[in-house]
Amino acid sequence: MKKSKSNYINRELSWLEFNQRVLDLSADEGVPLLERLKFLAISAANLDEFMMVRVGGLQLVEASGDTKKDIAGLTATQQLSSIRSRIRKMYDFQSKQLKELQPLLAKNGIRRLREKDLSETQSDFLRRQFTNEISAAIAPLAVENSYGFPLLSGARLCLFVRLRSQPEEIIRPRINNKKNQSPPDSDERLDESPRDGERFALVPVGRSLDRIWAVPGDKVFDYMYVEEVVTMFLSQVFGGQEVLEAVPFRVTRNGDVSVDEDNRSDLLIDMQEMLKARETSHAVRLEICDTASKEVEKFLCDALQIDQSDVYPIDGPLALSDLFAISGMKGFNHLKDSPWPPQPVPDFARKSEMFEKIALSDRVLIHPYQSYEPVIDFLRQAAEDPQVISIKQTLYRTSKNSEIALALERAAENGKHVTCIVELKARFDEARNIQWAKRLEHAGVDVIYGIQGLKTHAKVCIVVRKEISGIRRYVHFGTGNYNESTAKLYSDVSFFTCDEQLGIDAIHFFNAITGLSVPQSLGKLAAAPINLRESVLEMIAIEIENAKKEGAGEIIVKLNSLVDKQLIDELYRASQAGVDVKLNVRGICCLLPGRKELSENIRVVSIVDRLLEHARVFYFRHGGDDRLFISSADWMGRNLDRRVELMVPIEASEQKARLINMLHAYFEDNTNSSQLQSDGTYQLNEPKKKKKRFRSQEFLYKQAHQIYQAHTNPKTTVFQPIRRLDS
């Protein structure tokens, strides 16, 4: 195979195009108004995390002098240059969309107010609110020069204020900036100090304050941004001094901070120290209102030790992720998506019979079209069932009030032997996982903090029952986290089984983790970093051989990310052998499809819709003996080599057919599907002539509804799974 650097897409730029597809939904007039605002907020939240982790990490690589190139042949410096350029365009798009949405929202009774828009009554209301509540949550900080700048935690909204006052009127506090900066020489200090008769101050906006501040008025919902309310009364904060300038800004700090596991003594303590270190790590981005003077912008760059290339002037409000408060508020249902309530699962209608039902046959659920309650009930029943002797569970990301964790706690209190692997290194969920780990330990659960050097990302729960026939293992495998909150928003697959070999494999796998050993041979499961990569490569190789011998080979894969070069090269090889390769990759895809003599037989689509596509499902034709797997692993080096992951076969014909049908549905989508082109751009799939509009997520929801209706009303016409949809 002829290899070229141009045969791959840079992962960071690919991710930014995914975020653009999310942002594009804010411009889609076919999407309800508040949902458009939600997608704008999602794109902003996504970008925040990207800056903290990916850009922060690349900046560290650049600073180290490492010139190693990525899969697309780019150094860290080259990647950062392209990223900055692309992000500036994204900011412009976000600002444009907010400006377009605001008048539409106002027409529907959701109006953003400025100071000039306020009536006398509204001004009086805000003055009282500021005096009684807001002023108590802010603390202005005087700033004399950049080396005396206070340490600001990441992502906190602040106001930089320039005042006119007489020097003798000022009380100058000493600020501990914790940065160990040496004061500059006298000449430099004179250059960066405020001009005579002026001074600088910071007003960090209290995190206890709502960003969106409701204002009583004639409209259904009037509001102001809290920083604009604070700005209205700054002269009151500073004793009547003249406010020359008040500029909102926000600092983003590097979130790519980890612990040295090779020299750790106590991972729990190390992780707590790491969380503190993240708050004080280097600044990777400065967002600032584009009305700021050059003087203020330069001062902040010097104070934060940030390069001008990492300054992003914003035309409009900062921190658009706070718009979730508006998009998610109660009421205004006509501006939101029509509800898709999760459908009950008839097989598990009687919770007390869950184990009996699973013993009869395997069960596959597709969430959130089908309710996540059976997963929670599985743990609840295990906690109370006198026949259950032990529970083994992995937890990667949990919800704040996790019903799963509470069930484990209850099981331990009831005398069950409960072992739980709580992954403390789940980025941005570390603090919550630490809290649950401590609580579960207190309840008597044997808590394992994962494996040194690896993240435990597999999703598995094993319930061991002592029955008349002997010991029986009931297992739940999933593609998503044990998190009932995200289970309402993420599209994932659950698999319940008491297959004897899968149960044995699951126990061996789990015991290897808790015992820090290599697992005994696995009969059906594949696990990373042991043999998952090899298993996938073997399945691809079989399709290549079958295509060469029989002229027929087919691979359909659903992933969140495709980055691993070895697997990409094997898919290229499969395409060249004539294998029909269909890839549904939601986010990052470093593979280029449709290239002559390289990837002509590969098609890549991305579904971005109201639910986050999160399931990993792999199909191989296997000479007509269909093989289908669900997995916790994306096809990335970190998942295959540096995480603990599982790939689980689905063997029951009915369950297998349903998942294969689901995979085909994604490639029929002509509403919320984009297709990756051979030049690396994405093109929205639209209905062709005489073709009806087809939306895969809507189809899957209707299918779940029909499955439920068929059990409650035998006369209901049930959707029949087919190999290819006629849309």
Instruction: Look at residue 614 and give its three-state secondary structure.
Output: coil
Q: Look at residue 521 and tell me if it is in a domain.
A: no
Contact 194, 160 (CB under 8 A): no
Q: What digits encode the pLDDT tens for the residues 546-574?
A: 999 988 899 999 999 999 999 999 999 99
Mean pLDDT of 620-640: 96
Calpha distance 361→450 (Å, rounded) = 32
Q: What digits encode the pLDDT tens for the residues 363-382?
A: 999 999 999 999 999 999 99
Give the CATH number, domain containing residue 180.
3.30.1840.10
Quote the crossing angle between the two packed helices 373-384 and 403-413, to the nearest 10°.
10
Asked if pLDDT for residue 260 goes beyond 80, the answer is no
Asked if pLDDT for residue 426 goes beyond 70, the answer is no
- What is the reported pLDDT for 519? 65
Calpha distance 240→64 (Å, rounded) = 48
Residue closest to 282 by CA, chosen among 16, 62, 12: 62
Q: Look at residue 317 and tell me if it is in a domain.
A: yes
How would residue 430 be classed by pLDDT, with cut points 50, 70 and 90? low
How would residue 2 be classed by pLDDT, with cut points 50, 70 and 90? very low
Q: Do residue 555 and residue 647 come from a single domain?
A: yes
Q: What digits encode the pLDDT tens for the residues 178-202?
A: 444 444 444 443 345 566 678 889 9
How would residue 520 be classed by pLDDT, with cut points 50, 70 and 90? low
Q: What digits encode the pLDDT tens for the residues 388-410?
A: 999 999 988 888 889 999 999 99
Asked if pLDDT for residue 425 goes beyond 70, the answer is no
Q: Look at residue 721 and tell me if it is in a domain.
A: no
Asked if pLDDT for residue 259 goes beyond 80, the answer is no
Contact 265, 449 (CB under 8 A): no
Q: Do residue 81 and residue 137 come from a single domain?
A: no
How would residue 627 be classed by pLDDT, with cut points 50, 70 and 90? very high
Q: Please state, in angstroms and as integers, the Cα–Cα distance from residue 200 to each residue in 115, 188, 342, 509, 698, following that order.
A: 23, 17, 54, 59, 54
Q: Look at residue 104 and tell me if it is in a domain.
A: no
SS (H, E, C) 195-255: CCCEEEEEEECCCCCCCEEEECCCCCEEEEEHHHHHHHCHHHHCCCCEEEEEEEEEEEECC
Q: Do residue 176 and residue 317 come from a single domain?
A: yes
- What is the reported pLDDT for 300? 92
Q: Look at residue 338 and tell me if it is in a domain.
A: no
Asked if pLDDT for residue 715 goes beyond 70, the answer is no
Which DSSP state fits 8?
B
Q: Do residue 72 and residue 198 come from a single domain?
A: no
The last residue of one of the domains, among 472, 492, 516, is: 516
705 is catalytic: no
Q: Do residue 85 and residue 134 come from a single domain?
A: no
How would residue 274 be classed by pLDDT, with cut points 50, 70 and 90? very low
Calpha distance 74→71 (Å, rounded) = 8
Contact 336, 311 (CB under 8 A): no
Calpha distance 165→199 (Å, rounded) = 7
Q: Do residue 693 and residue 569 come from a single domain?
A: yes
Q: Do residue 629 and residue 677 come from a single domain?
A: yes
| Preceding omega of 714 cis (within 30 degrees of 0) | no
Enumerate long-range contacts of 516-522, CB under 8 Å, 24 or more apart: 516/451, 516/452
How would residue 41 be classed by pLDDT, with cut points 50, 70 and 90? very high
Catalytic residue among 367, 457, 614, 664: 457
Question: Cβ-count burial of 503 within 10 angstroms (0-12 exposed, 13-18 middle, 19+ buried)?
Answer: buried
- What is the reported pLDDT for 191? 47
Q: Look at residue 717 and tell me if it is in a domain.
A: no
Instruction: Look at residue 81 and give its three-state secondary structure.
Output: helix
- What is the reported pLDDT for 423? 80
Residue closest to 554 by CA, chosen among 613, 615, 627: 627
Instruction: Tell me, yes or no, if the pTM score tops 0.85.
Output: yes
Q: Do residue 317 and residue 462 come from a single domain?
A: no
- What is the reported pLDDT for 53? 87
How would residue 152 be classed by pLDDT, with cut points 50, 70 and 90? confident
Domain that holds residue 28: 5-95
477: which 2 tokens? Answer: 């495998």
How would residue 262 be classed by pLDDT, with cut points 50, 70 and 90? very low
Residue with token string 């003249």: 242
Residue bearing the bigger pLDDT, 5 or 170: 5
Contact 187, 166 (CB under 8 A): no
Calpha distance 45→546 (Å, rounded) = 45
What residues does 474 pair with on adjacent strands?
463
- What is the reported pLDDT for 456? 87
Q: What angle do CA 93, 94, 100 make, to 5 degrees?
A: 90
Q: Look at residue 108 and tell me if it is in a domain.
A: no
Q: Do residue 436 and residue 551 come from a single domain?
A: no
Residue with token string 């503190």: 276
Q: What angle do CA 431, 434, 440 make, to 5 degrees?
A: 145
Q: Do residue 199 and residue 240 come from a single domain?
A: yes
Residue closest to 393 by CA, chosen among 458, 328, 453: 458
C-beta atoms surrounding 81 within 10 Å: 13
Give the CATH number, domain containing residue 427.
3.30.870.10
Mean pLDDT score across all residues of the chain:
88
Counts for the chain of helices (H) and strands (E), in that order: 21, 27
Q: Do residue 502 and residue 538 come from a single domain?
A: no
Percent residues over pLDDT 70 in the chain: 87
The last residue of one of the domains, among 455, 490, 516, is: 516
- What is the reported pLDDT for 258? 52
- What is the reported pLDDT for 636? 95
How would residue 455 be classed by pLDDT, with cut points 50, 70 and 90? confident
Overall domain count for the chain: 4
- What is the reported pLDDT for 492? 97
Asked if pLDDT for residue 477 goes beyond 90, the answer is yes
Strands 455-456, 643-649: parallel, antiparallel or unpaired by DSSP?
Answer: parallel
- What is the reported pLDDT for 359? 95
Give the CATH number, domain containing residue 89.
1.20.58.310
- What is the reported pLDDT for 3? 45
Q: Please state, in angstroms and as integers, the Cα–Cα distance from residue 401 to each residue in 423, 426, 461, 482, following that order.
A: 17, 17, 19, 12
Among the residue ranges 7-21, 176-190, 278-292, the one predicted with the least confidence is: 176-190
C-beta atoms surrounding 93 within 10 Å: 17
Question: Cβ-count burial of 551 within 10 angstroms (0-12 exposed, 13-18 middle, 19+ buried)?
Answer: exposed
Residue with token string 């003055």: 127
The last residue of one of the domains, among 496, 516, 536, is: 516
Asked if pLDDT for residue 352 goes beyond 50, the answer is yes
Q: Look at residue 462 and tell me if it is in a domain.
A: yes
- What is the reported pLDDT for 193? 57
Which DSSP state fits 19?
H
Q: Do residue 403 and residue 451 come from a single domain?
A: yes
Among the residue ranges 7-21, 44-58, 83-97, the one predicted with the least confidence is: 44-58
Among the residue ranges 2-11, 58-67, 540-549, the one predicted with the least confidence is: 2-11
Calpha distance 393→397 (Å, rounded) = 12
